[in-house]
Amino acid sequence: MNTFTCKPIGTVTSCYKEKFGIPRQPGLVHGDQSILQLDKQYGEETVRGLAGFSHIWVSFVFHATLKQGWKPMVRPPRLGGNTRVGVFASRSPFRPNSLGLSVVRLLSIETSKKGVLLHLDGSDLLDGTPVIDIKPYLPYVDAIPNADAGFAPQQPPQTNKVSFTPEALTQCQQTEVRLQTPLQSLIENILQLDPRPSYQHANTGKRVYSMKLYDFDLHWQYCDNNRIQVLGLSRIG
């Protein structure tokens, strides 16, 4: 069998600083704008013509799970986290070659002293993700409306109602100004998808959850009747 080596063509800068909280599929959350910075050797000519496409395919490496190796069978969240399927019947990061594939919206292409920057939206990419390749998305061949989707036939529902404590709302508004991003809607979109492991969905209790987003920790709590309350934003460092 022939072997080959893939070298990253660039790296992603994302608001998602840890695995927990990242949308489980691309396109489920919007407003989470990220940047794919190409390495210096890939100049403006390598993306000439790409600006005419609204979406792109991004091939990447699940770098945060490399040391954990791969698993022949995994437990997809859509099956409650208990039923096992083959790794090739899933989108699990625990794959033989740790490769991922996401389609994301291409907002703009910027050429600066830093090199070529691709501004993206709707990604599911961890900060620091190495990118192996990009390709334009072609809706007439890449989208098959009548395709069977196995055990994940529909987009996960966004049934949770998100509210903010007065303190959290103030912190959110202040952080929006500082980061120049629509943070409140982003937080709502992320939490409506319920990032908890599936086996915890039936529990509310008093447990406080948190995730790293941009340069702060987001804290929230689950309440009765599918309600989520954001408790606060604490700056990291």
**pTM (predicted TM-score):** 0.88
- Examine the domain organization and report whether 98 and 36 are in the same domain: yes
> Which letter does DSSP use for residue 168 in this model?
H
Strands (DSSP E) contained in the chain are 10-13, 34-38, 55-61, 73-74, 85-86, 99-112, 115-121, 130-136, 161-164, 208-213, 216-223, 227-235
Per-residue pLDDT of 166-214, as tens digits, reads 999 999 999 999 999 999 999 999 999 888 876 666 666 678 999 999 9
- Examine the domain organization and report whether 127 and 36 are in the same domain: yes
- Examine the domain organization and report whether 168 and 125 are in the same domain: no
- Examine the domain organization and report whether 129 and 171 are in the same domain: no
Residue 233 contacts residue 168 (beta carbons within 8 Å): yes
Residue 189 contacts residue 157 (beta carbons within 8 Å): no
- Examine the domain organization and report whether 35 and 115 are in the same domain: yes
> Which letter does DSSP use for residue 9 in this model?
-
- Examine the domain organization and report whether 109 and 197 are in the same domain: no
Provide the total of helices (H) and of strands (E) in the chain, helices listed first: 3, 12
Q: pLDDT band at residue 224, thresholds of 50, 70 and 90? A: confident
Q: Is residue 202 part of a domain?
A: yes
- Examine the domain organization and report whether 108 and 217 are in the same domain: no
